[in-house]
């Protein structure tokens, strides 16, 4: 398989390149930039890749489709809504890690991303690639956001099986610094992050509408959710702590059984029989680890969902979607053992 990768210099692109290099079904990776700059050696863009001889060439849609079997975009929001349109119109296989095609309504995108959206007809051709729960993919796959992945995997059994009061969902989500990307900001300086916790984008995070879009697809009775994001002083990892009121008296064992049923055939989702997961259980893997608990005093169900934001939250899930799109073994090219210590 010949694979195009657009946007190799960001964190997600770098991880995606590494995964593609070790994928048993990938014969060659063609690298493209999303500007009109002249070809540039990969090792110039990514200095730690000094042994790599690949060139990053300018993106030309016709060339990309002629040279490759699939194109993966590891670009920031605002790039693929124009660059990828010729590929989408030709039904050429695309996996898009940006947020440009996740939302079906242009007004939603414009509200949350603060820029014009792709055409409505183009948005409707994309499928939302929540890989462990959606295998019905179109040629254009919109890879979910990292917070959305962790949160939706934690909520799916509760929402799909109507186990909760749909008006009661609260999510307290935390992310490592790599989730903000490579672009430096005052809040991502070492002195701001170290020994500190920072809430950010309160009620304004761009992953909120895609979470709501999917929750309402599962159960239209979900009107909204309370969702907060906190920057924590770690490099990688997301922890979503989810709280909701049980719809009826239940037990931890019954809630656990619902989760085990939902993820019985998911090799990358682990439902812990007891206790709660921590970040070290998933760092470096495409796994999601889930822990559940029911408090009979408050009637609250708690779910803790942890992922590696650059793997399950970005590059790893993109490879999982690639495998599904081309009917390859679902675990091909994906590590399942965490990096520890």
Kindly list the catalytic residues.
146
- Distance, in Å, from the CA atom of 72 to the CA atom of 82, rounded to the nearest integer, reads 15
Strand, helix or coil for residue 54: coil
Cβ–Cβ under 8 Å, residues 2 and 93:
no
Q: Which residues pair with 228 in a beta bridge?
A: 172
Omega cis (within 30) before 209:
no
Strand, helix or coil for residue 53: coil
Cβ–Cβ under 8 Å, residues 312 and 288:
yes
Give the H/E segment covering residue 307: strand 300-307
What are the distances in angstroms from CA 152 to CA 87, 133, 146, 155, 281? 29, 10, 10, 5, 19
Give the pairing type, strands 170-175 and 226-231: parallel
Chain centroid, CA 310 distance in Å: 8
């Amino acid at each position: 398989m010949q694979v195009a990768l657009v946007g190799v210099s960001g964190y997600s692109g770098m991880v995606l390149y590494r995964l593609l290099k070790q994928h048993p079904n990938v014969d060659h990776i063609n690298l493209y930039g999303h500007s009109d700059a002249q070809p540039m050696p990969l090792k110039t863009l990514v200095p730690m890749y000094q042994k790599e001889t690949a060139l990053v060439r300018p993106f030309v849609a016709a060339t990309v489709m002629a040279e490759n079997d699939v194109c993966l975009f590891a670009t920031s929001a605002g790039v693929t809504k124009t660059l990828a349109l010729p590929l989408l119109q030709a039904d050429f296989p695309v996996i898009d890690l940006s947020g440009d095609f996740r939302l079906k309504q242009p007004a939603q995108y414009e509200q949350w991303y603060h820029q014009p959206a792709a055409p409505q007809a183009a948005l409707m051709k994309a499928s939302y690639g929540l890989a462990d729960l959606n295998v019905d993919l179109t040629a254009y796959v919109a890879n979910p956001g990292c917070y959305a992945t962790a949160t939706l995997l934690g909520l799916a059994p509760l929402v799909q099986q109507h186990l909760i009061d749909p008006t009661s969902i609260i999510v307290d989500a935390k992310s490592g610094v790599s989730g903000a990307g490579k672009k430096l900001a005052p809040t991502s300086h070492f002195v701001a992050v170290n020994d500190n916790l920072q809430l950010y984008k309160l009620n304004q995070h761009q992953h909120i509408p895609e979470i709501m879009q999917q929750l309402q697809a599962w159960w239209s009775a979900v009107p909204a959710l309370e969702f907060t994001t906190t920057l924590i002083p770690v490099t990688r990892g997301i922890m979503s702590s989810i709280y909701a009121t049980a719809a009826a008296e239940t037990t931890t064992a019954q809630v656990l059984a619902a989760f085990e049923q939902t993820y019985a055939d998911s090799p990358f989702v682990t439902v812990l029989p007891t206790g709660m997961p921590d970040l070290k259980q998933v760092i470096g893997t495409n796994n999601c680890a889930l822990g559940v608990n029911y408090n009979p005093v408050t009637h609250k169900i708690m779910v803790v969902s942890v992922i590696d934001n650059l793997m399950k939250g970005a590059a790893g899930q993109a490879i999982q979607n690639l495998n599904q799109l081309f009917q390859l073994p679902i675990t091909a090219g994906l590590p399942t053992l965490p990096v520890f210590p």
